Amino acid sequence: FRRNFARLGGDGFFLAGLTSKLEPTPCNDNLFEENDASWSPNIAFEATFSRGNIYRNNYADNCNYGFWLGFSRDNLLENNRIGRNRQAGIAVENGIGMQVRGNDFKDNGHGILLWSKRIPEFDTAVPENDTSRDWLIEHNTFTGNRKAIRIAADQDHGLRAYTPHGPCPPPRNHTLRENTFTENGVDVELLGVDENK
């Protein structure tokens, strides 16, 4: 998907890799490049239960969330402009093996918001997505965000404690490397995480 103008939609782009009956319907190995999905009241790019997608040189501004990639894995987000999103620029629950590189996060509620959440129905459907783990976050710029990066265990939408079905394994193995932080309320917030660098 290249050079599309998808502004002001309910969601700019929407991919769902699991049906309401918990049947896998993968939306894998797609390229989203140089698209503008800004000004959605909801989400610019939503792709759940999917893997291997690449998001490069896109605009995801002035939405509730720039990217919502829950229960996905092995995606690359590179050189995107992500600004002025009310809740978060990138929001992912139980995401694994992601790379976030060279993006510009400016004036978001959260630049990157990652969390774990146990949902029993998904234990069988996506057993490998048991927590947030194995992320590489490097060479990004975070400016003027309320919180630049938040990684938290057992949360509802990454913001509030949530354990009605018991805890997940702690979020782990998040590598933050050579990022630039300027004038954020909080640069990095970690809650209940393990083995991060």
For 22-42, the pLDDT digits (tens) are 888 989 999 999 999 999 999
Give domain status of residue 2, yes or no: no
76-112: pLDDT as tens digits: 999 999 999 999 999 999 999 999 999 999 999 999 9
Low-confidence ranges of the chain (pLDDT < 70): 158, 160, 195-197
What is the per-residue pLDDT for 156?
79
Instruction: Give CA–CA dist 11/66, Å, rounded.
Output: 10
Range of the domain at 48: 11-191
What is the per-residue pLDDT for 160?
65
Give domain status of residue 3, yes or no: no
Residue 168 DSSP label: P
CB neighbourhood size of 57 (10 A): 16
| CATH assignment at residue 120 | 2.160.20.10
Give domain status of residue 97, yes or no: yes
- The number of distinct structural domains making up the chain is 1
What is the per-residue pLDDT for 120?
80
50: CB partners within 8 A, 6+ apart: 15, 17, 26, 27, 28, 69, 72, 75
Q: What three-state secondary structure class fits 125?
A: helix
Residues in the chain: 197
Give domain status of residue 1, yes or no: no
Q: Tell me the residue ranges of DSSP E strands in the chain.
A: 11-16, 31-33, 43-48, 54-56, 65-68, 76-78, 81-83, 88-93, 99-101, 104-106, 110-115, 133-138, 141-143, 147-152, 155-156, 160-161, 172-177, 180-182, 186-191
